[in-house]
Amino acid sequence: MPQHDIRSAVRNRDNGMAKITALSWRAGAAGVAVAGMLTVALGHHPVARTVPAGHRDDHSGIVIPAQPPSQAPGTGQVTSGAS
């Protein structure tokens, strides 16, 4: 039975760990690069975010009416928004 060489085993382990570490760093760098490209490609630019003048909401918050809306005549009215 051959004798195991501890130094050779340690050297092989260290070489394998170095390869895995290098591969992990490359994969991480590639992920960051792809995320940056997707952000640029799919991001909303300031020109796309401008709201036309007719669609702007000039209210600064929620407006609560003084009284709740009155009951409308008719049958089958849904007031909750559910059907």
Say how far apart CA 65 and CA 80 lie, in whole Å. 17
pLDDT digits (tens, 9 = 90+) for 6-17: 888 999 999 999
pLDDT digits (tens, 9 = 90+) for 19-64: 999 999 999 999 999 999 988 888 766 665 566 665 556 656 676 7
